[in-house]
C-alpha cells in the first residue's frame, strides 16, 4: 500500500477543485471508486490525482498504470499530467486497454506462442482467416456470413469464454457452426505469428492467469492503477484490472453507472455497481457538481434516471445559472418533426446569430437520419454525420438503387455490375468481365448479354443459369414497375432477391442495414405522396433522380459551419450548446424489445440520460404522433421515459401542422398503440413478430381509403379533372386508372390512398 501523503504537499492539485474532486485527488491509499456524473470534471480529477502522487514523490511515473478507452483520451491525459508536473511523466504507462495489452504481449510473446514481431490483424485480416477456416470446415458463407461468425467469436473472447466452453454451450445451428472455426482460430493466428484485436485483451489475461512470475512482476511494478470509464469495461478488461491490482489494492476507477450504454457489445454495468465486492475497503466519492448544463436540463436528467433501480444513486447539481426551459415538441408525423427541427435551427441562426455548429441532432437509430437529412437539405442547411455514412451513400442503399436503376434502364451497365453481386449469387468478377467482352462484341448491354445463351457459352452451366435467372428477375420487376408504387416495388424486390436474409446473416450490423432498407422504402412512399399517388416507371425515374442528386452533394470542408447529426451512442462524451433528441416514442426510443427485458430498458433509459446531458444551454425533445412505415401512417405513443414527473419539467409545444390537424393536445395525451420497434414495419418475411401487427394496421388503413366506381368523375390537385376508366386492387393497394381531360397529362395510374382524389367534378 502507498503511504498517505503529507497534508501540505498538495500544490499540484490546484485550487480549482471542488470539495468532492479534492477528496478524490487527496485520497491516500487503498481502492477508490469515483462516481463521476456527466460534466462533473472527471478527467481533471484523474490527471490531478496522478500528478499529485508523482509530484509529491509518493510513486515514480513508471509505477503508474492509467487506462483509458480511446487513444485521444490517453494522449490528453499524458499532456495534462505533463503540464501539471512541468515535465513529461517518462516511464508512466498510459493508454487504452488494447495498447497496454499489446505492450505486455510483446514483452512476453513467447509465453503466448508468438515472437515479439507479431502482427496485429485488423478486422479485414481476421475475416480473411475466418473465411478460410469456414471453407476448411464446410461452413457455408451463404448460410452464415463470415462477419456474423467473427462477431460471435469476438463476443466469446471478450467474455473470456474458451473454445471448449463455447462448444459445450452451443445449442443453436449458428453456434454449432461457430464451434469448429473458433477451435481452429488460435492455431491459425499462431501459425501466422499474429494476434487479433480481441487477443489484445484476452491473451494478457491468460498471461497473468497462467504465469504467476509474470503477474508478480507487473503487480510489483504498478503500485497505482487508474481506470477511466470503468462502467464500460467487459469481462476481459475487468479481469485484467483485478489481476494487476490484487497485490497493492491501490486501484482507482472512475465512471458513471448512469452512463453505461454499451451492454450490447459486452460492457457489464455490474463491474462498477459491485466494485466493493472485489474491494471491500473501497472509498466511494460522488462527483455531482455539473459544469456543463443549465439547471433546467439537469432537473430533467435527474428525474429520468431516478426511475432506474440498478444504480448507485447521485443527483447532478448545476453550477451554471438558470436558462431556457426544456421543450417537448409533438409533431404530426416524422416529416413534420424533421421540418420543425430544421426550421428551428434556421430561426435560431437568424434570430440569435447562432452558428449552425452549435446544434446537434441526436437519434436512436441510424435509419432516422434519412428524413432529417432531407429536411436540412431542402433548407440548404449544411450538416455532417458523425460515426455514420450519409444515408444514400450506405452500401445497402447503393445496392438497391443499382437494382432500381437497372429496372428503370436495362442498358445501365454500371448498375448491372453492382446489382449482380447484391446479394452474391456465385457470379464473380471474372464472369462479369467475360460477359462484358461478349456484350461489347455483340453491341448489347450486359443485361441483354446475360439472358442470351449464345453470349454465355464460355461459362459453366451453373453460372449461365445464374445469369439467366438474374436477367429474368430484372425483367419481371420491369413489368411490375409499370403498375406499382416505388415503395411497394422496393419491398417486393427485397423479398424476391433474398436481400433481407443476406443482411440478417451479417449479424447485428446487418439488422441495422435492414432498418435502412425499410427507411428507403419509407422515403419512396413519401415521394409517391408528393407526386399525387402516381405509379409506374415515371415516378421510379423521379425517385432515382432525387436519390442520385442527394448522394452526389459535395462533402463539407473540415472547418465548415454545420449542424452535427449522430446516434445517441455516438454522442457519449460530447457536448453542444443546443441539442435536439428526435423520435421520443415507444418502440423507437425505447425499442420495444426492451419492454420484455428490465435490464435492457434501464440501459435504454441511461442512453436517454446521456442524450439529455449533452446539452449545455438548450434542449429540445421531439416526437411524432405518427410515423410513416411502408407508406402507412402508424400511430405512435410518446416514450415511456416521459413520466409524469418528467413532464412537469418540460414546456409542451405542438408544431403548426399538428395544431392545424386538430390532433394536438397536452403532453400527457398518449396514443393507445402498442410499442413497436422501428424495424417492425419491414415486410413480414423480414421480421417474424411483425406479421400480425402489420395485418391489423393494413385493415385499419383499408377502412380509410375512399371507394370509387368506374366511370366516376374525379379531380386531382396536380393533374386536374378526369374520368376513372379502370380499377384494381383493394384497401391500401387499390389503384385507379384515370383519363385526365388535359391532353398533356393523359392517362395516369394512381394509388387511391395517396392520390387525394376528390369526386363529383365535371
> Which residues are catalytically annotated?
42-43, 228-229, 259, 614
Distance CA 645, CA 328 (A): 14
Cell 450538416 -> residue: 383
Residue with cell 487508474: 226
Q: How far apart are CA 154 and CA 147, in angstroms?
A: 10
CA distances from 530 to 361, 535, 756 (A): 25, 12, 11
Query: What are the DSSP E strand ranges found in 250-385?
Result: 251-255, 283-287, 289-290, 317-318, 326-331, 359-363, 383-385
Question: 674 CB contacts (<8 Å, ≥6 apart)?
Answer: 586, 587, 592, 693
Task: Label the pairing between strands 720-728 and 735-740.
Answer: antiparallel
CA-to-CA distance for 185 and 132, rounded, in angstroms?
Answer: 10
Cell representation of residue 125: 485480416
Query: What is the distance between the terminal CA atoms of the chain, rounded to a whole angstrom?
Result: 95
DSSP string, 388-409: S--GGGSHHHHHHHHHHHHHH-
Alpha helix (H) ranges present in 482-567?
486-496, 499-504, 508-530, 537-551
Can you tell me whether residue 517 is helix, strand or coil? helix
Whole-angstrom distance, CA of residue 567 vs CA of residue 583: 11
Question: Rounded to an integer, what distance in angstroms lies between the CA atom of residue 177 and that of residue 493?
Answer: 29
Contact between residue 594 and residue 676 where contact means Cβ atoms under 8 Å apart: no
Distance, CA of 534 to CA of 484 (rounded, Å): 9
Report which of 375, 370, 379 is spatially closest to residue 521, judged by C-alpha positions.
370
Distances (CA, A) of 442 to 406, 407, 436, 446, 452: 19, 21, 10, 10, 11
Cβ-Cβ contacts under 8 Å for 484 (sequence gap 6 or more): 492, 535, 536
**Residues 739, 725: Cα–Cα separation, whole Å:** 7
The residue written with cell numbers 447562432 in the block is: 354
Question: CA 678, 682, 687: angle at the middle one, nearest 5?
Answer: 95
The angle that helices 395-408 and 461-481 make with each other, rounded to 10 degrees, is 80
**Contact predicate 656/363, CB 8 Å:** no
Q: What is the separation of C-alpha 651 from the centre of its chain, rounded to a whole number of angstroms?
A: 29
Find where cell 455548429 sits.
357
Mark 717-726 as b/e (b = at least 16 C-beta within 10 Å): eebeebebee
CA pair distance 335, 375, nearest whole angstrom: 8
Sequence-separated contacts (24+) of 101-107 with Cβ below 8 Å = 101/200, 101/201, 101/203, 101/204, 101/240, 102/195, 102/200, 104/204, 104/207, 104/218, 105/195, 105/199, 105/200, 105/203, 105/204, 105/207
- Distance between CA atoms of residues 761 and 539, nearest Å: 26
Say if residues 590 and 601 touch (Cβ distance below 8 Å).
yes
Amino acid at each position: 500500500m502507498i503511504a498517505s501523503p503529507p497534508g501540505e504537499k498538495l500544490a499540484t492539485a490546484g485550487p480549482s477543485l471542488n470539495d468532492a474532486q479534492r477528496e478524490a485527488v487527496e485520497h491516500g491509499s487503498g481502492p477508490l471508486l469515483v462516481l463521476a456524473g456527466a460534466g462533473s470534471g472527471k478527467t481533471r480529477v484523474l490527471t490531478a490525482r496522478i500528478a499529485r502522487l508523482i509530484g509529491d514523490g509518493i510513486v515514480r511515473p513508471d509505477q503508474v498504470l492509467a487506462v483509458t478507452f480511446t487513444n485521444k483520451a490517453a494522449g490528453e491525459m499524458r499532456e495534462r499530467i505533463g503540464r501539471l508536473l512541468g515535465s513529461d511523466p517518462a516511464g508512466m504507462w498510459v493508454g487504452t486497454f488494447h495498447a497496454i495489452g499489446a505492450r505486455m504481449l510483446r514483452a512476453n510473446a513467447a509465453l503466448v506462442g508468438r515472437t515479439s514481431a507479431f502482427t496485429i490483424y485488423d478486422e479485414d485480416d481476421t475475416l480473411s482467416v475466418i473465411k478460410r477456416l469456414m471453407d476448411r470446415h464446410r461452413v457455408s458463407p451463404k448460410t452464415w456470413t463470415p462477419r456474423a461468425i467473427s462477431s460471435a467469436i469476438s463476443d466469446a473472447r471478450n467474455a473470456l469464454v474458451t473454445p471448449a466452453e463455447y462448444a459445450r454451450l452451443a445449442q443453436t445451428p449458428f453456434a454449432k457452426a461457430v464451434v469448429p472455426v473458433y477451435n481452429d482460430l488460435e492455431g491459425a493466428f499462431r501459425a501466422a505469428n499474429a494476434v487479433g484485436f480481441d487477443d489484445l485483451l484476452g491473451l494478457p489475461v491468460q498471461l497473468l492467469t497462467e504465469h504467476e512470475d509474470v503477474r508478480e512482476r507487473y503487480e510489483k511494478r504498478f503500485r497505482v492503477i487508474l481506470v477511466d470509464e470503468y462502467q464500460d469495461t467487459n469481462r476481459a478488461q475487468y479481469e485484467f484490472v483485478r489481476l494487476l491490482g490484487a497485490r497493492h489494492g491501490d486501484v482507482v476507477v472512475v465512471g458513471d453507472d448512469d452512463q453505461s450504454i454499451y451492454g450490447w457489445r459486452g460492457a457489464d454495468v455490474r463491474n462498477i455497481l459491485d466494485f466493493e465486492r472485489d474491494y471491500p475497503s473501497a472509498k466511494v466519492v460522488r462527483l455531482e457538481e455539473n459544469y456543463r448544463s443549465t439547471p433546467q436540463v439537469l432537473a430533467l436528467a435527474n428525474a429520468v434516471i431516478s426511475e432506474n433501480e440498478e444504480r448507485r444513486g447521485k443527483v447532478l447539481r448545476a453550477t451554471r445559472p438558470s436558462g431556457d426551459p426544456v421543450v417537448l415538441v409533438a409533431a404530426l408525423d416524422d416529416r413534420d418533426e424533421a421540418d420543425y427541427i430544421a426550421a428551428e435551427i434556421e430561426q435560431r441562426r437568424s434570430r440569435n446569430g447562432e452558428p449552425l455548429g452549435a446544434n446537434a441532432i441526436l437519434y436512436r437509430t441510424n435509419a432516422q437520419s434519412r428524413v432529417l437529412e432531407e429536411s436540412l437539405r431542402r433548407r440548404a442547411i449544411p450538416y455532417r454525420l458523425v460515426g455514420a455514412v450519409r444515408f444514400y451513400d450506405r452500401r445497402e442503399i447503393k445496392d438497391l438503387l443499382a437494382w432500381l436503376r437497372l429496372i428503370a434502364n436495362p442498358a445501365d451497365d454500371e448498375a448491372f455490375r453492382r446489382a449482380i453481386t447484391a446479394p452474391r449469387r456465385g457470379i464473380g468478377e471474372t464472369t462479369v468481365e467475360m460477359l462484358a467482352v461478349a456484350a461489347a462484341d455483340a453491341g448489347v448491354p450486359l443485361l441483354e448479354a446475360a439472358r442470351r445463351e449464345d453470349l454465355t457459352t464460355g461459362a459453366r452451366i451453373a453460372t449461365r443459369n445464374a445469369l439467366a435467372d438474374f436477367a429474368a428477375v430484372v425483367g419481371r420487376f420491369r413489368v411490375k414497375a409499370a403498375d406499382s408504387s416505388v415503395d411497394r416495388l422496393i419491398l417486393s424486390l427485397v423479398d424476391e432477391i433474398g436481400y433481407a436474409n443476406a443482411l440478417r446473416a451479417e449479424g447485428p450490423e446487418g439488422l441495422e442495414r435492414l432498418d435502412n432498407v425499410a427507411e428507403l422504402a419509407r422515403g419512396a412512399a413519401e415521394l409517391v405522396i408528393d407526386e399525387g399517388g402516381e405509379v409506374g416507371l415515371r415516378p421510379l425515374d423521379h425517385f432515382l433522380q432525387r436519390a442520385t442528386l442527394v448522394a452526389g452533394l459535395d462533402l463539407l470542408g473540415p472547418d465548415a459551419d454545420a449542424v452535427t447529426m449522430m446516434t445517441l451512442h455516438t454522442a457519449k462524451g460530447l457536448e453542444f450548446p443546443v441539442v435536439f433528441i428526435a423520435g421520443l416514442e415507444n418502440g423507437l426510443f425505447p425499442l420495444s424489445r426492451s419492454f420484455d427485458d428490465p435490464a435492457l430498458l434501464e440501459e435504454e433509459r441511461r442512453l436517454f440520460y446521456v442524450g439529455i446531458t449533452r446539452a449545455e444551454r438548450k434542449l429540445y425533445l421531439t416526437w411524432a404522433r405518427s410515423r410513416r412505415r411502408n407508406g402507412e401512417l402508424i400511430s405512435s405513443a410518446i416514450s415511456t421515459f416521459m413520466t409524469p414527473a418528467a413532464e412537469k419539467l418540460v414546456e409542451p409545444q405542438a408544431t403548426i401542422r399538428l395544431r392545424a390537424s386538430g390532433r394536438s393536445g397536452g403532453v400527457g395525451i398518449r396514443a393507445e398503440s402498442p410499442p413497436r420497434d422501428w424495424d417492425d414495419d419491414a415486410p413480414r418475411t423480414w421480421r417474424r413478430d411483425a406479421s400480425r401487427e402489420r395485418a391489423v394496421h393494413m385493415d385499419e388503413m383499408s377502412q380509410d381509403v375512399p371507394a370509387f366506381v368506374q366511370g366516376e368523375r374525379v379531380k386531382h390537385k396536380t393533374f386536374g379533372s378526369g374520368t376513372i376508366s379502370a380499377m384494381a386492387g383493394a384497401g391500401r393497394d387499390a389503384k385507379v386508372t384515370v383519363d385526365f381531360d388535359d391532353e398533356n397529362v393523359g392517362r395516369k395510374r394512381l394509388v387511391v390512398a395517396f392520390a387525394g382524389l376528390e369526386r363529383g367534378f365535371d
